[in-house]
Structure 1
Amino acid sequence: MHFLLSGLTLIFLDLTLAGDNALVIAMAVRSLPRRERRIGSAGGAAVAVILRVALTFLTTRLLTIEYVKMVGGLFILWIALKVLVDASEPPDSAPAPKRFYQAIWYIVVADLTMSIDNILAIAATSEGHLGLIIFGLGVSIPFVVFSSNLLADLMNRYPILIYLGAAILGKVGGAMILTDPLVVRMLHPSDTWLYITEGILAVGVVIAGRLICAARQRRANHVPVQ
């Protein structure tokens, strides 16, 4: 009975986190062809889960390490900006294999950096039981893959969702940066400042992405005078 309750708790933890992770996957694979998108989302999620299982045993004090969440938050912000900029370019502007492996890389790194809290929760709930950890994480894979592919389809149909997704990632990145142990120790940010920073970065990522796209468009349209 205890095993069953622990397993259900792990599934709940993974599905709670799956929303943000599915969004990251959707943003990363959105520009890939449909077949590669499915392979990329499934492969990236699977690799991330395998690494998460290993990290659960190796990083019981991960949240106390300075810079880990800060670097992860900055990486999430970079993904949001890159997706916005890439959305303004023709789909064939980069070779497909390069984009495919880039998508896998983004998924794995972003999933791991966003899953730090989840890793510790899993370690505590599973009490070090490898079978429980694999069971809980494995059940969440189909949900993440399905929802990420659905989100990617919707983003291609309704481009405004790309901006919404980037704003959400900006918010997530801001929260990770402000909750890094180094930032907490030096600045002691209150909940109010946390919410303000999340809002600023959510809007700021979208504005920065638009400005970069506009600058690139001006350079592309500029014809030097002979």
Structure 2
Amino acid sequence: MELSYLWSIFFIITIDIILGGDNAIVIALACRKLPSKKRNFAIILGTIIAISLRIILTLGAIFVLKVPFLHLIGGILLLYISYNLLIQENDHLSSIKENYSVFQAIRTIVFADLVMGIDNVLAIAGASNGHPSLVIFGLCISIPIIIWGSKVVLFFLERFPILVFIGAGVLAITAGNMLIEEPFIASLIGNDNYLNILIPTSCVLLITTVGGFFNFLKLKKREM
């Protein structure tokens, strides 16, 4: 086996570990209200479906690494996902049907992975040096990394519910970074470090403030 091939494998595994954290967070947030048996099913099935779709996207990205406004669209969609996950925090478990919850969790996992996986897709496509076998290997390796990471995050979310806001904030930061990585926006910002910090920070403040406000309204409405 060529040394360059081995280095590509090393780089792909490293990319999976570094970029898999956000995916683990969104899986944990999406599944936090499911019963244990349903939760494991949703995590495993949702992750496998998401990774399968990501393999297809990455194989395509080998040939088309630059899609106009890809990061911009992904960042906006991810902001919506982080907001949607946050405002579910005060919902009563008894008001959610299990079958619907499992479907909702799987749909959120798959949708979020497609949005958040843009950087992962492009990075692995680049690290694979045009070898489809490396793409499939790297993305399959990411399955246990993401599943294990999501269970660790779930462990803490169950004990410290306030971490939901932190998780939503992490997703919002990711969305903000995707926005400033959009070539058109990056060309406008240039090397302005102030804007490079301000945009992700503004995304966090926007999502947590709006999400917290709507949760407060929902709580007051239930008390009436």
Equivalences for residues 147-226 of structure 1 within 5 A? 147-185=149-187, 187-188=188-189, 190-222=192-224
Q: Which residue in the other structure is 2:128 paired with?
A: 126
Q: Percent identity?
A: 32
| SS of the residue 1:64 aligns to | coil
**Counterpart in the other structure of 2:67:** 64
C-alpha separation in 2, matches of 1:17 and 1:107: 15
Partner of 1:89: 91
SS at match of 2:34: coil
Give distance in 2, aligned partners of 1:112 and 1:191.
28
Indicate if the aligned counterparts of 1:72 and 1:114 stay in contact, CA closer than 8 A: yes
| Runs of 5+ consecutive residues of structure 2 not aligned to the other structure | none
Q: Which amino acid aligns with 2:117?
A: S
Report how many residues are paired. 220
Give unpaired runs (5+ residues) of structure 1: none
Shift of 1:217: 2.2
- Note the C-alpha offset of 1:62: 4.7
Distance 1:181 1:153 in 2: 38
Alignment of structure 1 residues 37-52 onto 2, 5 Å: 37-52=39-54
Matched, 1:136 2:138: yes
Whole-Å Cα distance in 1 between the matches of residues 73 and 103 of structure 2?
A: 21
TM-score by length of 1: 0.89
Distance 1:102 1:180 in 2: 29
Between the aligned partners of 2:150 and 2:66, the Cα distance in structure 1 is 27
Seen in structure 2, the aligned counterparts of structure 1 residues 196 and 134 have a Cα distance that, compared at 3 Å, is: same
AA aligned to 2:173 is K
Show CA shifts across 1:162-181 (max 9, x none): 11111111111111123223
Runs of 4 or more above 6 Å deviation? none
* Cα distance in 2, alignment partners of residues 5 and 72 from structure 1: 29
Counterpart Cα distance in 1 of 2:47 and 2:151: 12
Distance 1:15 1:63 in 2: 23
In the superposition, the TM-score normalised over structure 2's length comes to 0.89
Contact 1:174–1:197 (Cα < 8 Å) also in 2 = yes
Give secondary structure in 1 for the equivalent of 2:94. Answer: coil
How far apart are the structure 1 equivalents of 2:74 and 2:195?
Answer: 20
For 1:65-90, what per-residue CA distance to the aligned partner results, in whole angstroms no more than 9, with x for missing partners?
A: 22x22222222222222222211111
Distance in 2 separating the partners of 1:62 and 1:210 = 37
Instruction: State whether residues 63 and 181 of structure 1, in contact with CA within 8 Å, keep that contact through their aligned partners in structure 2.
Output: no
Higher mean C-alpha deviation, range 138-147 or range 173-182: 173-182
